Structure 1
Amino acid sequence: MSDDVSRETPSVPDAARRAFTSDRLGLAARYTELLATEGVVRGLIGPREADKLWDRHVLNSAVLGEAIPQGARVCDIGTGAGLPGVVVAIARPDLTMTLVEPLLRRTTFLDEVVAELGLDHVRVVRGRAEDLHGTETFDVVTSRAVAPLDRLLGWSMPLVAPTGSLVAMKGRSVHDEISAAAGLLTTWRCAEPEVLELGAGIVDPQTTVLRVSWADPSRIGWPLARGPQRSSRQRQKQRRAQREAQ
């Protein structure tokens, strides 16, 4: 990556030293620098966000690791410029991370970041979540600002292993999303969703996270995949709507 971008990058806040171990802090700082420079130049990060990267994006993403078990296989769908996937991978080298993103300019940036930072436990996949349906499953499927829960279930749950979970970063409307998706949660045979507040002493306000697991690991549900009553035209319409929304 080019180092001749003149924009001044944000300094490392004290809270970052609590979110990252000393041997990973330099990687987090370099990634934040790349977001503030190359990310802005390439249109991946808005120029007004550059000065807020640590508080609003990096630290906010780093604390997601509190909800991820040791040694988990993680898939971050719609990762964009790597939020939260790259940040979580920097903070948690014990994880195996797959970043899924359909846009070439973003995956190009991600490939360069992974190479420069030496994140050999991170894989970049250019595509959409549904491209992996039926071929791979993960212990944790993460996302950040991708879609409301009712749509997110259809993209994420087919990737969730029987004993795994969807772990999505959400905002103040999380309880409204849960209510709106109540019927689908039942259809998908999901357990009662959990709302977690993460990052005490690191971020303020804390990061709100929604966790959804299977109600019965022996009877996971794939209602959208197996619905034989739907016509081919209906299935095509649904897939098109999902692609446009991602």
Structure 2
Amino acid sequence: MARDVSRETSPAGPAGEVPPEAGSLFPGERLAQAIRYADLLATAGVERGLIGPREVPRLWGRHLVNCAVLGEVVPEGSRVADLGSGAGLPGLVLALARPDLEVTLVEPLLRRTTFLEEVVAELGLTRVEVVRGRAESLHGRRTFDVVTSRAVAPLPRLLEWSMPLVGPHGVMIAMKGSSASEEIREAGPVLARLHCGAPELVTIGAETPSARTQVVRVSWAVPGQVGWRLATRSRGGSDRGTRRGRRHRG
């Protein structure tokens, strides 16, 4: 039986001091939820092998604040899928920073989805869904306005996993590091085969220097025309997942 993550954190704040910029990134009561989430990562997340012990001192700067600025490039009211969500980075952080979004966390490993479900339930995130499975299991069955990821795979492979889930007017937004430009060059054949538009390399977090990072944004070459055949035709084009995770609704 899964342990209750709420019992695994002391009130002392194991994730350390909250940086000043967190107040503007997590509005209202969401800051308290983000603090709680950080503490859960620092304790239960480490114990379960989801976060390395060396990451605890930099949870806020390298992970929470870094992921929260992704909200700068996500349109209001979007339905978002976060692939390979792991411990909830960036998807769960994005949900905390942007209460207007509907976020689906897609993760194949049971121990990770168990943690995610417990955190989502404890924090009362009614617009977050956890799905245990690989991205391919949703191909041809569900689409989203935005598909995100962070440190999941090189761009060519990531496109093949992500673009089938991008709706006709949607976009893939992948958080990338210094290799982003090289990955874009290598992804040329895949971009052409899937009929994607030209990738955009965008810097986010300009007003939060400690969290400044790059994202690669890719949409369809012809708005409204999905190039990957299974995204519209596979299995009747149903918009339902093969295995939907527990949906947490209020």
Give me the TM-score of the superposition, normalised by structure 1: 0.88
SS at match of 2:210: coil
Structure 1 gaps of 5+ residues are 227-246
C-alpha contact 1:79 1:100 (8 A) present in aligned 2: yes
Q: 1:176 to 1:103 in 2, by over 3 A?
A: same
2:124 is aligned to 118
Q: Is the 8 A contact 1:2 1:38 kept in 2?
A: no
1:158–1:222 Cα contact (<8 Å) kept: yes
After superposition, the Cα gap between the structure-2 partners of 1:51 and 1:189, relative to the gap in structure 1 and judged at 3 Å, is same
Identify the residue that residue 176 of structure 1 maps to in structure 2: 182
Distance change in 2, residues 1:112/1:155 (3 Å): same
For each residue in 1:147-172, what CA deviation from the matched residue of structure 2 results, as whole angstroms up to 9, or x when unmatched?
Answer: 01100011000000010000000000
Q: 1:225 to 1:69 in 2, by over 3 A?
A: closer
Amino acid at match of 1:211: R
Pick aligned residue for 1:42 from 19, 39, 48: 48
Distance of 1:45 and 1:114 partners within structure 2: 17
What is the aligned residue count?
A: 226
Q: Which moved more, 1:211-220 or 1:171-180?
A: 211-220
Secondary structure of 1:62's counterpart equals: helix
Q: Identical aligned pairs, as a percentage?
A: 60
Equivalent residue, structure 2, for 1:161: 167
Q: Any conservation in 2 of the 1:81–1:109 contact (CA below 8 Å)?
A: yes
1:3 maps to which residue?
7
**Alpha-carbon displacement from aligned partner over 1:181-212 (angstroms, at most 9, x marks no partner):** 11111111111111111112224251211100
Cα separation, partners in 2 of 1:205 and 1:34, compared to 1, 3 Å = closer
Q: Counterpart in 1 of 2:28?
A: 22
Which segments of 5 or more consecutive residues in structure 2 lack a partner in the other structure? 233-250
Q: 1:22 is paired with a residue of what secondary structure? A: coil
Specify the alignment match of 1:152 in structure 2: 158
RMSD: 1.7
Matched AA of 1:114 = V
Could you tell which deviates more after superposition, 202-211 or 175-184? 202-211
Cα distance in structure 1, aligned partners of 2:224 and 2:120: 36
Question: What's the counterpart of residue 213 of structure 1?
Answer: 219
CA-CA distance at 1:22 after TM superposition:
2.7
Q: Larger relative CO (CA 8 A, sep 6+): 1 or 2?
A: 2
| 8 Å Cα contact 2:79/2:102 also seen in 1 | yes
CA distance in 1, matches of 2:8, 2:74: 37
- The change in CA–CA distance for 1:159 and 1:5 in structure 2 (over 3 A counts) is same
User: Which residue of 1 is the match for residue 94 of structure 2?
Assistant: 88
Q: Secondary structure at the match of 1:197?
A: strand
CA shift at 1:140, angstroms?
0.1
Q: SS in structure 2 opposite 1:136?
A: coil
Q: CA deviation at 1:224?
A: 8.3
Asked if 1:108 corresponds to 2:110, the answer is no
Shift of 1:10: 1.4
Q: What is the CA distance between 1:21 and its match in structure 2?
A: 1.3
Q: Do the aligned residues in 2 keep the contact of 1:102 with 1:126 (CA within 8 Å)?
A: yes
1:200 corresponding residue in structure 2: 206
- Distance (Å, rounded) in 2 between the aligned partners of 1:205 and 1:2: 28
Do the aligned partners of 1:107 and 1:126 also contact (CA within 8 Å) in 2? yes
Match of 1:134 in 2: 140
Following TM superposition, the consecutive aligned residue runs of length 4 or more in structure 1 with deviations greater than 4 angstroms are 4-7, 223-226
Query: What residue number does 1:235 align with?
Result: none
The structural deviation recorded for 1:219 is: 3.0
The one-character-per-residue Cα deviations of 1:76-108 (angstroms, maximum 9, x if unpaired) are 000000000000000111100000000000000
